[in-house]
Structure 1
Amino acid sequence: MNTRRIVLAVVAIGLVTITIGSIIYYKVGSDAATTTLASAAVPQRVSIVNGLTTVMLDTAIQAQSGIRSEPLAATNHQADVTAYGTVLDLQPLIDLRTHYMSAQADADATAASAAASRMEFERNRILYQDNQNVSLKTYQTAQAAYLSDQAKMQAASTNTQNVRATARQQFGETLGRWALDAHSLQLERLLNRQEVLLRVTVPLGDNVQIPATIQVAANNTQRAPAYLVSPATQSDPAVQGRAYIYRTAAPIAVGTNVAAYLPTSTQTTQGTFIPASAIVWYGGQPWAYVQTRPDRFARRPVSQHTPLDGGFFVTESIAPGEHVVVRGAQLLLSEELRPPPGTSGCKDPECD
């Protein structure tokens, strides 16, 4: 009797096990089939075309997402080298100008006094020689006053010459002339901060012809033109090299360090400019999406050899006239990296 019960219990357990296994098998098979059908129903969004990753996105979704592309224009770029400089404080120049104006006023005053005393001396000399119509004491007093005023005039003139020499020594011929000219329009622009002065130092070893016009930038701002004034008479103690004075209309504060871009030749290279709005970073390098068809965008590499303000200048991979996504490029990258339905994970190498 006990043996029969044991047998029946074993048979019952076996039937239950078989039933549960069948249910699990059916469920797994059904889910797999559903996933396969769902994957087959979703069109392929990302593909590789000619070795480049291409994202397919219909025009309706592009419009909803605000994705916009623009044709690139051909651009010429002139190779340059980078030097560094500083915005100069004009206070020493202003102090020198004030000193000179004071010295010049003294020279003018002593010259006027010497001219008056000379006339007085000549008048008394004539009167004294004409039957001593004035006393000898009066004649000698006029002579002494004239000689004294003449000595003062010579001292004031020498002082003025010394200030001029100081201006040439400290600031050079051009800046010194601006500072000492009471009607200098160039100095007036500097004093009104319509322009600022820069001291740009070209490092030793850079055999670069100093151009009359360069480009300067400070604090990652847009480049601005700067114009050569003269060689600098004083160098920057922090940078060894040849120093030059430039002027620029860029509103840069005194003491600010600037980067100066000096063209290395007159030859230019033809290419195109990729704006920063078109750049996406993936795998540690910049890329841009080129619209190859109305609904397809190919991600192409952007060379980092020639960075410019607001983007990159390139001569390969992207040609003038091609349409580059300038708004919504990051959305395309997100769409490209989005895992297919039923999968998960990150495709970016930086996720590793």
Structure 2
Amino acid sequence: MVPRTRSTPSTEGAPNPPRIAEEIPIATNQGLTPTDLDANLAATQATIEKLQRLKDLQDQAETLRSQLMGRNPDETLSNPYQDPYESSGKGQDIKLKNIPTFTLNSSLQQRQEWLLDLQQQFEGDLRRYHDGRTQILGALSYMDTTCRQRWYRHIDEKSPITHRNLKEDWPYFKDWTLTLIKNGASLQSEVMGQLERARQLKDEDPREFHARLDTLERHFPRVAEKERALSFFAKLLYDLQNDIRRHIIKLPETREEMIDIAYHFWDLQRLETNRKRKHTETTDEPPRKRNSTKRTQDNKRSRKPWTDKNTPAKDRLNPIGEDGKRNRCFNCGSEKHYSNKCPDPPKDKPTAAIQSALQGNDSETD
């Protein structure tokens, strides 16, 4: 009989393999009797039951510990020294997809959108992009070869002159990307001209127009909010401005409110235009065209002979006239065909007077 051991918290939390192994009697003598074999078998089974019981208790303790800590027991850490912050997924990198490549042909709006995408990329992975140097390296990976080579040459030329490391100055790098845009030397004057000529295009969403306008305004000091709102209103379509004036007594004093109102009336105009277009497509034809079509149909109907499916073939080919008699062939006097289809025309074709005389004689005979 194998002696029982008392279960303690230490034994439940972590088993002691050497101690358990000592409890299993090892048969070293080959000349064991059946009684000894039965005793060894019973001892082995008892040890297996203890190990299974120990495993169940360990699983139960781990489940309770996981519930107290507020995490799923199936997601326990394989490494007990791993940082719980990383295991919860909060330290994982968040990367944006489909970030465009900056080229020499990029426009001002494309450059601004490219910088915004990079900023979101940096904020999603702060451990990697933690300073200006790593941010510049990350931005260079989304530039074509020509732009990267220009940056390398620019650094080689400017580093000896300036007493700072330009490779770690992210604001300086963002300003330098403006020189890659076409007409970069006279960029400010070009942008001012585009800003003065900017107008809302036909079928352009006011929100999209604001994004295009804001890209140009970013190159100049920010003006007062009321001035930004009125400037946006003055560049809208004239029909849209008139609708807003008719329904709004006091114009809003912020750009965001002006955009919301402009989009509301622009959407109403678009719905009304679509409704009129559908109504025009479903209306009837013009009166003149409709009357001419009806007249043509009446003419075709008058020229078409009247037939009845119940009328015999003889009556359909040679109907009865107003005098109650059928027409006859001028040549042979048959009622089955006319003279133009007579199978045996006479050599001397009778005149119309003779034909009328023949018909008169027939009427007298009848």
TM-score, normalised via structure 2 length? 0.23
Identify the structure with the greater helix proportion: 2
Where relative contact order (Cα < 8 A, 6+ residues apart) is larger, the structure is: 1
Identify the structure with the greater strand proportion: 1
TM-score, normalised via structure 1 length? 0.23
Q: Which has the larger radius of gyration?
A: 2
